[in-house]
Amino acid sequence: MLNYIFKRIIHAAEVLFVVSLITFAVLLWIPGDVAQLILGSDATPEKLEALRISLGLDRAWYLQYWDWLKGLFRLDLGQSYLFGQNVTTLIAQRLPVTLSIAVFSMLIASVTAILLGSLAAIKKNTKTDYFVTGLMQLGSSVPSFWIGMLCIVFFGLKLKIFPITGYVPIEKGFIPYLNSIFLPSFVLAIGEIGMLLRTVRTSMLDSLRQDYMDMAKVKGLPKVTVYLKYALRSAMIAPINVMGIQFAKLVGGTVVIESVFSLPGLGRLILVAVEQRDIMLLQGLVIFITFLVILISLIVDIAVMFLNPRIRVQMEGE
C-alpha cells in the first residue's frame, strides 16, 4: 500500500515537472512583450529595457526556469506583477471559492445521479427510465453559461431567492455562504449529472443482472436492502472513478461559471492572468491546478482500492 502511494507520488512529480516545462515554454513563445504590456505603448526603449532586466526577462530561458523551479520547492511561486502580491497568497485567497462550488456541485451531481441512475436501472425500459435519461441528456447538451444566465434571471431577478453575483465567505455565516454558492454549483452540476447518471445506470444494470441478486431476492429481503446492500455496492466503483475525473475537471475548469456569476475564484484569476500576460501568476496557477488534479486522482484511486475487498485483503496480508 505505502509502496503504491510512494510510486504514485514519484509519478506525480514527473507529471508536474513536464507540465511546468510545457507551460513555461508556451508562455515564452507566445508573442507579446510583457514589459510593453506593463508600461503601455508610449514607453521609451530605455524604460522597457530596464523593466526587462528587473523582471529577469533578459536572461536565458533555462535560467529563468531554474529560478522559478527553485522557488517551487520553497512553495514560492513568485510575484504577480499585476497584483503586486505573492502568487501563493493570491491562490490561497481564491481557492476557497473554486473549491466550494466544485465540492458543492459534485455533491449535488453525485446524489442526484446515484438516486436517479439507480431508479432508471431498476425501472429499466419504462417511462421513468426514458424520462430520467432524456432529461439528463438535455441537461448535459445545453451549455452551462446559458443555463447559468437563465437561473440568474429566474431565481435571482424574478424570484429573488438567491443573490445573482458575488461570494460570501463561510466565516460570515453558513447560510449566506450557501446562498452565494448554490446557483453556480447547481448550474455546474447540471452539466455533470448526465455522464455520471449514465455510468451509475449502466453499472447498476450490470449488478442487477448478477446471480447474487437472485439470492438476495430469494432470501426475501426488503427491496431497499436488496438494492442498497447488494446492487449498489458493486455498482459504485465505476461511478466513483467518473466522479474523480469530474471533480478534477471542476477544480480547474470553472472559468465560465465564475465569470457568469462574478465569483472571485481561480478560474477568473486565470482569465485575468492570460489577458494581462501575468506570466508568474499564470504559471503558478497552472502548476497548482495540475497538482490538485493529480492529488484528486490519487485519492480516488486509493478510495476505489479500499472499496474493493479483494485488493484490501491482499494489502492487509502484506
C-alpha cell at 143: 451549455
* From 229, 262, 275, 306, residue interacting with other proteins (rule: CB under 8 A): 229
Please name the residue that has the C-alpha cell 514560492. 76
Q: Is 225 in the site for other proteins (CB under 8 A)?
A: yes
**Segment interacting with other proteins (CB under 8 A) among 161-169, 239-247, 257-265, 304-312:** 304-312
Q: Is 97 helix (H, G, I), strand (E, B) or coil?
A: helix
Nearest in space to 175 (alpha carbons), one of 186, 166, 184, 162: 162
Q: Which is nearer to other proteins, 42 or 211 (CB)?
A: 211
**Segment interacting with other proteins (CB under 8 A) among 58-66, 95-103, 129-137, 206-214:** 206-214
* From 80, 144, 234, 254, residue interacting with other proteins (rule: CB under 8 A): 234
* From 93, 210, 241, 276, residue interacting with other proteins (rule: CB under 8 A): 210
**Please, which residues have CB within 8 angstroms of residue 315's CB and are 6 or more apart in sequence?**
1, 305
8-state DSSP, 162: S
C-alpha cell at 306: 479500499
Q: Which is nearer to other proteins, 195 or 307 (CB)?
A: 307
Count of residues interacting with other proteins (CB under 8 A): 22
Q: Which is nearer to other proteins, 74 or 310 (CB)?
A: 310
Q: Is 230 in the site for other proteins (CB under 8 A)?
A: yes
Q: Which is nearer to other proteins, 210 or 297 (CB)?
A: 210
Q: Is 310 in the site for other proteins (CB under 8 A)?
A: yes
Q: Is 211 in the site for other proteins (CB under 8 A)?
A: yes
Asked if 300 and 240 count as a contact pair (C-beta separation under 8 A), the reply is: yes
**Segment interacting with other proteins (CB under 8 A) among 45-53, 187-195, 277-285, 309-317:** 309-317
Other Cβ atoms within 10 Å of 311 Cβ, number: 14
**Segment interacting with other proteins (CB under 8 A) among 155-163, 242-250, 253-261, 305-313:** 305-313
Please state, in angstroms and rounded to a whole number, the distance separating the CA atoms of residues 181 and 168.
8
Q: Is 200 in the site for other proteins (CB under 8 A)?
A: no
* From 58, 67, 214, 275, residue interacting with other proteins (rule: CB under 8 A): 214
User: Alpha-carbon Rg of the chain, whole angstroms?
Assistant: 24
Q: Which is nearer to other proteins, 89 or 225 (CB)?
A: 225
Give residues 53-112 in contact with other proteins (rule: CB under 8 A): none
**Segment interacting with other proteins (CB under 8 A) among 38-46, 63-71, 207-215, 298-306:** 207-215
Helix H segments across the chain? 2-29, 34-39, 45-55, 61-73, 87-122, 127-141, 144-151, 174-208, 211-218, 223-225, 233-235, 237-252, 255-260, 266-275, 279-307, 309-317
Asked if 79 and 283 count as a contact pair (C-beta separation under 8 A), the reply is: no
Q: Which is nearer to other proteins, 47 or 209 (CB)?
A: 209
Please name the residue that has the C-alpha cell 466522479. 243
C-alpha cell at 26: 508556451
Task: Give residues in contact with other proteins (CB under 8 A).
Answer: 210-212, 214-222, 225, 229-230, 233-234, 307-310, 313
